[in-house]
Structures are given as structure tokens and as C-alpha cells.
Amino acid sequence: MGILIAAAVIAIISVAVGVLLGVLNDRFRVETDPREEKVRACLAGSNCGGCGYAGCDAYASAIVLEGADPSLCPSSDREEIGKIMGVSLAPSVRLTAFVKCSGSCAKTTQDYSYFDEKDCRIAYLAPRHGAKSCSYGCCGFGTCALVCQFDAIRIIDGLAVVDREKCQACGKCVGVCPNGLIELIPYDASYAVRCSSHAKGKLVRSACQSGCIGCGLCSRVCPTGAISVAGSLASIDQTKCIACGECVKKCPAGIIVKLNDKAADLFQPS
């Protein structure tokens, strides 16, 4: 009888608690805007925080309730978000991280031996921003890879390499690189300059076998004016590039590279 009585008491308490929770849920329920769930479905879902909010749920709520900029997530369906919010937004342009350096260990020389902590931000404080002779290049310690939560960056032969298929363009690697070597470019870009050195030609070649010497040949053969040379370094305006490939043919240093349109950019330094 004692067991039956205990079981009955527990059952009665459980029913009472269930009813109480139901009543409290109805009374204190916070109504949410149905647009939040729809906007959330248009976001990447990676909760990377690249938009500046705690996650995709927080960002979706901010868009609907606070009027936050709906274009902060580079991997979102911005056009669909515009339809949900009743505004006109241009379609999203998929972006990917690109490392503007060709200075692998095989292509660069070293001025000294570095024994401090293997962190690019610490190495940047050392003479010439690290042991490599090129003070503009990749330190190669992989701080960018450590902050990438999508496993989209690897270190190959002392150089950061981005897998474009995995990259979600959150921008964390851009912010953490002390030399400013990583930028976000359109995923469908055809060509890019894999160098960031502003040194003069002779100094570039003495430090790295594959660096921009600022000769300007690429700029002169570009039919659309998409390439400019400033501070002994070439750069490409992706909005003007028509992917003709003339710059690649003329570049004596070989630092203007063709990017794959659909495959991952698994550049293998030699």
C-alpha cells in the first residue's frame, strides 16, 4: 500500500505541475514576429559571429526588430531577406578569403632563427615581422587557421592556403592577420595578385623568388584598366576584370594567378 500511495502522489504532483507549466506558458509567452524564423532560414546557419551579432538567431532578430543591416552576412540569401522585409535588396555576392602572398619556405629566405611563440601576431613584433626576409609576407604560424571555425585554412610549407569551398567569408582571418595579407574577394573572381610587398624590385627578388616587382607590364596589357600599380605592387579591380588572362601571360614574376571557378583553391607552393 505504501508503494501505491507514493506512486499516486507522484502522479498527482506530475499532473499538477504539467497543468501549472501550461498555464504559465500561455500567460507569460512572448510573441515573436514570424518573419524572424523566415529571415533565419536565409542565413548561413554557421553562427560564426562575422556579422557582429552573437549568432544567426540574434542577427535575424536584429534585422526584423531593430532594422539591422541585412547585408552583414556574406553567405546569406540577401534578395530573399529583402522580400521578407518588404524592401529591395541586391542579390548576395559570394565572397571567399584570399591570401595575398606566395612566400612559401621554399621561395623565401630567412634572416634569422625565430624561437618565440608560434603566433603571427607575436612574430609581427619581431625584427622584420618574423624570420622571413620579406617583411610583408606570411609568417606561416597559422594564427588565421586557428580562428577559422570552418577548417578552411591550412598551412602548407610555411604559407596560409584557403580552401574556397569551405570558406564562409566570416572575415575572422582577415582581422587576425597582422600583415593584412588576407582579403575577401568574389568567389567567382578569375585572377588575383598573390603578393603584398611594397618593396622595390631588387629587394623583392632578394627576399622572395615570387614577388611583385612593380614593372607595370600587367597594367599596360589590361584592356579594361582593371590593373593598377601603386607602391611597386599590382592590384586588380575585380569589378573591371573580364578574365582575358593577358596579365598572367605578361607577369614576369608569376604572381598573378588564375583562380578555379568551382573547385577549391588548393594552391600548392613549390
Binding site: what residues are annotated?
A: 48, 51, 56, 73, 134, 138, 144, 148, 167, 170, 173, 177
Where on the phi/psi map is residue 10: left (φ > 0), alpha (ψ -120 to 50), or beta? Answer: alpha
Query: What are residue 191's DSSP bridge partners?
Result: 258
**The C-alpha cell of 221 is what?**
596589357
Greatest distance between any 2 Cα atoms in the chain:
98
Q: CA distances (Å), 171 to each of 33, 39, 97, 168, 208, in order?
A: 30, 21, 8, 8, 27
Alpha-carbon gap, residue 37 to 122, rounded angstroms: 43
Cβ within 8 Å of residue 31, ≥6 positions away: none
Residue type, 126: A
Cβ within 8 Å of residue 161, ≥6 positions away: 99, 153, 154, 155, 265, 266, 267, 268, 269
* Binding site residue list for [4Fe-4S] cluster: 48, 51, 56, 73, 134, 138, 144, 148, 167, 170, 173, 177
